[in-house]
């Protein structure tokens, strides 16, 4: 990843006058417009006029020593489910085409703008964020950069967000994560994605999937990039992440569920990474986490995502069901069969799981596991519904565990150059965000070099 610019290196270049915000934006717009690239599928809306005007303004502010932050002028992308003033938030769907334009930016978007980041456009996504694969029948599916000629899925639901980073169309991306939607596309595309403790970042101004499980987070090139964006999103001071030395880290590998049905390439990359960390001095223990086995029971009838998405969508489905992706609307409809008593049971079960999990992981700095059990499937192989469902379940499985127990987690690449992309997930109980970034920064240096 060293050959790619990070937010820190871009900030240094802007400060030294080696580049300008306008040049960064123009370069990104050129890549988006390249007909040989994925821009038409990565973005559902490109705000070229607004982005160039914002870039020019940031360049003038920097010349006057008045830039709002060191990152002012750096172009970023915004997932299509966030409100951006004057634009329609379609959430990757056609069912919201006639929705009124947003009257204000979502707080997450407003905070990024306040720091001077330039919003270059809205990125494609799985319709209403309800899949881990990134396939969208309305706007097309952005192809993964890995073996693009074959056409592998980008991962979802923040599909366009991840490809906007890998293809240099933006330098940071705002995504969401309800069951892995920042971490899965990051893992599938060989970059970094972060799922914060949900309560740290306001969820206003976004089309919800699950009020209980939703969280808003960044996708970018490095751990440091994600930490910078996370601080802005959480309205916290941006402080450099101090790398924790790998030696002495206390890491636990959950043997319950998360290591089941791994693709050989995933198992190989993960085992090699565990060995590298162990030889570097990390204390690694394999432990059972029975709470993860209980997640299947919690989700047997559709879980929070089905119940809460049905509550939000039921009136829209009554009018426009024919405009939905059939694979999405069928999953939302599962919530119709859930009773109020079922929902109360879900809440009680989750509270108990969180308390039990937090007690279990107290002795460890973090859990480590493969972010996703499989490598990115080929898009053409998922035309069959059975194949789609199996790939979707395996894409979501590991990540969704952390949303269920209200934790925080990061995915960083752990494959070697030329291998299929594989993500390493570090996770901990909610509120451990700063620790996760410090651990991940140390591991990133050790694993990737």
How far are the Cα atoms of 264, 327, 390, 391 from residue 384, in angstroms, in the given order?
23, 11, 10, 11
User: According to DSSP H, which parts of 136-258 are helical?
Assistant: 159-166, 183-189, 223-233
Residue from 77, 79, 131, 143 carrying the catalytic annotation: 79
3-state helix, strand, coil in the chain (%, to 5): 45, 15, 40
Distance between CA 192 and CA 189 in Å, rounded?
9
| CB-count exposure of residue 403 (10 Å: 0-12, 13-18, 19+) | buried
Helix (H, G, I), strand (E, B) or coil at 169: coil
Q: Single out the catalytic residue among 157, 158, 210, 395.
A: 157
Asked if 1 and 413 count as a contact pair (C-beta separation under 8 A), the reply is yes
Lookup result for tokens 């101004």: 205
Helix (H, G, I), strand (E, B) or coil at 354: helix
Residue 181 appears among annotated catalytic residues: yes
Burial class (CB within 10 angstroms; exposed 0-12, middle 13-18, buried 19+) of 256:
middle
Q: Where are the alpha helices (DSSP H) in 64-127?
A: 107-114
The gap between the terminal CA atoms of the chain, to the nearest Å, is: 9
Q: Give one word for 121, left, alpha or beta, with left for phi > 0 and alpha for psi -120 to 50.
A: left
Question: What is the token pair recorded at 200?
Answer: 């740290």
| Both structure tokens of 296 | 């299947």
Chain length of the chain: 449
From CA 323, how far away is CA 93, in angstroms rounded?
A: 8
Dihedral sign, CA of 379, 381, 385, 387? negative
Distance separating alpha carbons of residues 219 and 225, to the nearest angstrom:
8
Which of 181, 222, 305, 432 is catalytic? The answer is 181
- The Cβ of residue 66 has, within 10 Å, a number of other Cβ atoms equal to 10
Q: What is the DSSP letter of 171?
A: S
Annotated active-site positions, please? 79, 157, 181
């Amino acid at each position: 990843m060293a050959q790619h610019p990070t937010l820190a290196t871009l900030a240094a270049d802007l400060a030294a006058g080696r580049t300008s915000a306008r040049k960064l934006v123009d370069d990104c717009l050129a890549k988006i417009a390249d007909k040989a690239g994925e821009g038409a599928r990565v973005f559902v809306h490109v705000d070229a006029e607004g982005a160039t005007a914002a870039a020019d303004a940031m360049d003038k502010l920097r010349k006057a020593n008045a830039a709002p932050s060191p990152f002012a002028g750096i172009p970023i992308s915004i997932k299509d489910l966030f409100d951006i003033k004057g634009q329609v938030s379609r959430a990757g769907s056609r069912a919201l085409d006639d929705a009124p334009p947003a009257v204000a930016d979502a707080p997450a978007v407003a905070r990024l703008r306040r720091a001077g980041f330039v919003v270059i456009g809205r990125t494609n996504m799985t319709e209403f964020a309800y899949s881990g694969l990134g396939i969208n029948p309305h706007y097309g599916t952005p192809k993964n950069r890995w073996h693009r000629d074959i056409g592998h899925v980008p991962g979802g639901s923040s599909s366009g967000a991840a490809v906007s980073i890998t293809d240099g169309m933006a330098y940071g991306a705002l995504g969401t994560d309800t069951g892995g939607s920042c971490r899965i596309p990051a893992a599938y595309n060989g970059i970094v994605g972060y799922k914060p403790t949900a309560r740290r970042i306001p969820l206003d101004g976004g089309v919800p999937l699950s009020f209980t499980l939703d969280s808003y987070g960044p996708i970018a090139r490095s751990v440091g990039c994600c930490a910078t964006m996370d601080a802005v999103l959480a309205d916290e001071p941006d402080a450099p992440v101090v790398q924790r030395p790998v030696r002495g880290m206390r890491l636990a590998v959950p043997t319950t569920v998360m290591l089941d049905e791994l693709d050989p390439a995933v198992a190989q990359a993960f085992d090699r990474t565990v060995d590298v960390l162990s030889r570097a001095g990390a204390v690694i223990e394999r432990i059972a986490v029975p709470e993860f086995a209980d997640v299947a029971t919690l989700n047997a009838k559709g879980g929070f995502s089905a119940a809460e998405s049905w509550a939000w969508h039921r009136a829209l489905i009554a009018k426009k069901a024919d405009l939905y992706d059939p694979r999405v609307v069928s999953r939302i409809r599962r919530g119709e069969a859930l009773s109020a008593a079922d929902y109360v049971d879900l809440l009680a079960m989750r509270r108990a799981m969180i308390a039990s999990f937090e007690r279990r992981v107290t002795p460890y700095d973090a859990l480590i596991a493969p972010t996703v059990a499989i490598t990115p499937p080929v898009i053409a192989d998922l035309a069959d519904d059975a194949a789609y469902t199996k790939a979707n379940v395996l894409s979501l499985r590991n990540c969704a565990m952390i949303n269920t127990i209200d934790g925080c987690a990061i995915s960083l690449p752990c494959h070697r150059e030329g291998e299929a992309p594989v993500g390493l997930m570090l996770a901990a109980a909610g509120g451990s965000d700063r620790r996760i970034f410090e651990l991940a920064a140390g591991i990133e240096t050790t694993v990737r070099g």
